[in-house]
A and B are shown apart, each in its own frame.
Chain A
Amino acid sequence: MAETKLDLLQGTLDIMVLQTLATMGDLHGYGIARRIELVSGDSILLNQGTIYASLVRLQQRGWISAAWGTSDNNRKAKYYSITKGGRKQLTQDTAYWRRLSSVVDRVLAMTAEGEF
């Protein structure tokens, strides 16, 4: 199990991006991608490039905002920050995700009992 990386479920990247921005503050695309990789302990199969589709989607929904800025070593990069709407959405999504995963957990547990 440990060798194969996890495929991202549809829509889970969006919530991870929101959470990353909510906890880490403003970040550029590379920063967000690295952060998610680090936190996940490199167990997620993430092509860093896919983050940009997620970013533009969140931005167009008004959940994050973007502005060009300069990095620590003086490089121009686009910095993203979560908006108020984004935080609200994150709360909703997190609650939804928790409910979903607990339900899936329970169902899976029940099936396992039944097998024995």
Chain B
Amino acid sequence: MGAMREAVNRVRAFFGKQQRDAELEAELAAHLELAVEENLRQGMTPEEARHQALIRFGGVQQAREQQRAARGLIQLDILLQDFKYAFRTLGRDPGFTVVAVLILALGIGANIAVFSVVNTILLRPLPFPNAQQLVWIAPPPSKCGMSCATYSTDAYDTFRVQSRSYQDVTGYYAFSSPDNLSLSRGGAPIPATGIAVIANFFQVLGVQPAMGRLFTADDGRDGAAPVIVLTDAWWRRQFAADPDIVGKAFDIGGRQTTVIGVLPASFDFGAVFSPGAKIDALTPLDLYGPPRNEGNIITFIGRLKPGISLPQARDDAAAAAPHMCWNNNMARSCGAYKDRVVPVPLKDYVSGRLRRSLVVLWAAVATILLIACVNLSNLLLARAAARGKEFALRGALGASRMRIVGQLLAESLVLSGAGALLGLSFAWVLVSWFAHQGSVALPLLSSLRIDGAALGWTVLIAIFAALFFGLVPGLRMAGGNLQESLKDSGPGSGQGRKHERIRSVLVVSEVALACVLLVGAGLLLHSFLKVLDVDLGFEPTRAAAVKVDYDDGGNTPGAVKADVIARRTAIFQQILARVGSIPGVEAVGMSDFLPLGQNRSWGTPFPKGVAAPRNLPAGPLVYVVTPGYMRAMGSRVHGRDFTWDDGPNSQSVVMISASYARFLAGFTHWPNNDAVGQLIGGGRNDMLVVGVVDDVHEESVEGEGGWQIYYPATQAYPEGEQLVVRSKLAPSALANSVLLALRELNPKQPAAEFRPIQSLVDRATSPRRFFMLLVAAFAALGLLLASLGIYGVISYSVTQRTQEIGIRMALGATQSQVQRNVIGRALRLVCIGIVAGSIASLLVARGIAALLFATAPTDLLTFAGTILLLGAVAFLAGYLPARRASRINPMVALRSN
């Protein structure tokens, strides 16, 4: 009972200090009065009585302290005292405090921001319930794009029945192109991007609607009434967040489509499955309608049963794969998916590629924090020299070493706490900015925010930083020899020298760390420039694309192919002629898919008369294009382009990419290994190769260019066309006239976005640009901090050596000699730092080699540039104090201390 009550009373006493102190004072006063009275009664003189009373009482102050220790929380009192004192001390030196807090804020802020990115993309589970059960099921990565990462409807049905590890399997249609929906609400149709998903998509992911309902199996039946689910963003933007939207029907693509639900804001299809893309709505995929025979169209996403491990799921999938057929009616196609059904955790699919980049980014900010801490250690040491006597005095007056270290740590904690608060606001700005970089193709970026984990991380690194930068100077100061400190009044004596040595070591390590950062950033920058330099096989500048709406009657039942193609040819000719005549337009053409976007493959046509070997690599990516497309894209054609004469009744023609042509030439004897004029077999009929086109980077800018095959839109079925316009004018200047022309020909043409082809490339390179920019910014920050460090140390040593310099000058040293001496010292420090940093950089560069593109980890240019830059900065940082040193007036210097 006593202990509990005592604890409560101690806490109470802690908060009621003033009243309790006043009471104690009264009690002590009464005590002394009583004692004096008694002494007087015993016949002492008043002075004697008072004197004796005080002797018997003992130390009054001690009694007070003892009583306070017995009644309250003395440790906490000391702590508060330390903090109060720390605030006062720091407040007295605002210059130092501001610089220190700013340095820390930059270091900590960068760390919080990057932690938030890492946490969002890498650490946090995907925003679905029990996300660890979700797997992405696809073949091992290959060159042939989405067609090799998807499955047919028959394969889906078989897999769903044959596999036993899954609660359920779902998927989505992988070939939706941007602006594939057009919403008509009177006026010009509004373009929107929709993704068709298998009806159980949301059940498998565990997504609940914010309003209305999501899809049921009925919605996916062939011939079901058209329904649509809106994303939160589109519902707000397009429908003004209409609370009664559910049940309303709109004309979407000419069909009255009912809105059945609105998704929660937390569900962002693009952020998870298609980074950088903006998805407006989801529609149910009709598995058994027209897409059934289109081949590989569905991606697989599965939810594992509880307790099923990934290896189990993998074995299960491998066992099911041989039963899956591309088309159940084609016995030959059964087993096509053998070894091509591999589940990986969905999380790995979404963000696995980025792990390395993020780890590098994380390491970069950790380095920044390290540099910031070293810098601060340095600043504190400079202060230590100035405050050495204060602490020696406190030690002499009885302060224990622990107490002094505690005091210094309190100061460090106050500094890092303030730095963390300011850093948090920096990070908040940075993170909000990141989150709105919709065009950066990084997954989950839109859900980026500073959350509890980030706050926890902030506290952690703030404490770490405080211990790191506060402990070394603290121990040094508290551990210093009292006498030495008190005596150390002149320059050149022991303690001062020792401080300077530590500070030099700190500066050297700072320079070394900055060197590593700079080399890393330099290598990434060099890689990025190389990426921009890649010959893409097309000319992205000055070309733009817009999605064209047309109606060739191809979707109507019973349409005759020849009629459809004739209609389409007429429409396309009209469009191209009309747009081509707009002033400033140099070339126009159409293709159903654009590079660096979606793609598909239709098998591997082989030279006529040559039996295709088994185990063929996946086939070339297919593009259905009009005459003029190659010129509009700026791709070079050897041979000839398609013409309007390549009609449905004439010889089937194709163009193929150079590397595919080379591959085919290896199996046959073509004169000069030239594919132009040769026949290749596409199964039903032979196709004449009329042109060989430069390889186009289809999948990514950085990867190798894949194989492509081009079919004329006058002979094959396109998937909806993109009009590509090349002109001398900026795309924005042309957008209106092109759209006007399209609308003239077809009033249903939506106001689709006129997208520069360059933006496709930019989007594809955006993750690299994002990481490169961040690392470069951190390197710049590191350089700045390091130069501050150099400046601080040199400048301080000039101040310390004012007298010495004065004597030298009095003895005849010239200004330039003094300058050389000071700058030489700065350069010496930097040189050691650069040597150490370069060695470390070599190791680090090897570690990030996988992130580099066409750049060796030992890239001479980068290393030389880094060394030059550091040298130049060091020179500057040394020059300013050197100039000050050379202006020292010997007479003044000698007179002053």
Contacts and interface: CB of A to CB of B under 8 A. Distances in A.
A29 B31 contact: yes
A25 interface: no
A61 B60 contact: no
11 contacts: A28-B34, A29-B30, A29-B31, A47-B57, A49-B62, A49-B66, A50-B66, A52-B24, A76-B30, A78-B27, A78-B30
A29 B58 contact: no
Interface in A74-95: 75-78, 85, 89
Contact of B63 (A49, A61, A71, A78): A49
Interface stretch (B67-75, B297-305, B872-880): B67-75
B58 A62 contact: no
Nearest to B63: A49
Contacts of A71: 34
A56 interface: yes
A72 to B, nearest CB: 10
Interface string A47-66: 11110111011011111000
Interface string A19-42: 000000000111101100000000
Nearest to B3: A61
A77 B27 contact: yes
Closest 9 CB pairs of A and B: A47-B58, A49-B63, A60-B9, A53-B66, A61-B2, A53-B70, A30-B34, A56-B71, A49-B58
Contact of A57 (B24, B60, B71): B71
Given A30-B31, A30-B34, A48-B31, 8 more contacts: A49-B57, A56-B67, A60-B6, A60-B9, A60-B10, A60-B13, A77-B30, A78-B30
A10 to B, nearest CB: 13
Contacts of B67: 52-53, 56
A4 interface: no
B560 interface: no
B53 to A, nearest CB: 9
B60 A49 contact: yes
A83 B2 CA distance: 12
B567 to A, nearest CB: 98
Contact of A49 (B6, B34, B59, B71): B59
Contacts of B30: 28-30, 75-78
Contacts of A56: 67, 70-71
A3 B634 CA distance: 112
Interface in B14-42: 23-24, 26-28, 30-31, 33-35, 37-38
B611 interface: no
B557 to A, nearest CB: 93
B56 interface: yes
Interface residues of B, number: 32
Of the four ranges (under 10, 10 to 19, 20 to 34, 35 or more), the interface on chain A belongs to 20 to 34
Contacts, number: 89
A111 interface: no
A57 B57 contact: no
A77 B60 CA distance: 17
A56 B1 CA distance: 16
Interface string B164-196: 000000000000000000000000000000000
B237 interface: no
B34 A48 contact: no
Contacts of B57: 47-49
B895 interface: no
Contacts of A30: 30-31, 34-35
A49 B70 CA distance: 13
A30 B6 CA distance: 24
Contacts of B26: 76, 78
Given A47-B57, A54-B70, A60 B31 contact: no
A80 to B, nearest CB: 10
Contact of A50 (B13, B24, B33, B58): B58
B69 A53 contact: yes
A24 to B, nearest CB: 15
Nearest to B70: A53
A57 B70 contact: yes
Nearest to A31: B34
Contact of A48 (B6, B23, B58): B58
A106 to B, nearest CB: 30
B614 interface: no
B485 to A, nearest CB: 35
Contacts of A31: 34
A60 B71 contact: yes
Interface in B648-666: none
Contacts of A47: 56-59, 62-63
A33 B10 CA distance: 24
B63 A62 contact: no
Contacts of B56: 47-48
Contacts of B3: 61
B5 interface: yes
A54 B67 CA distance: 8
A59 B27 CA distance: 15
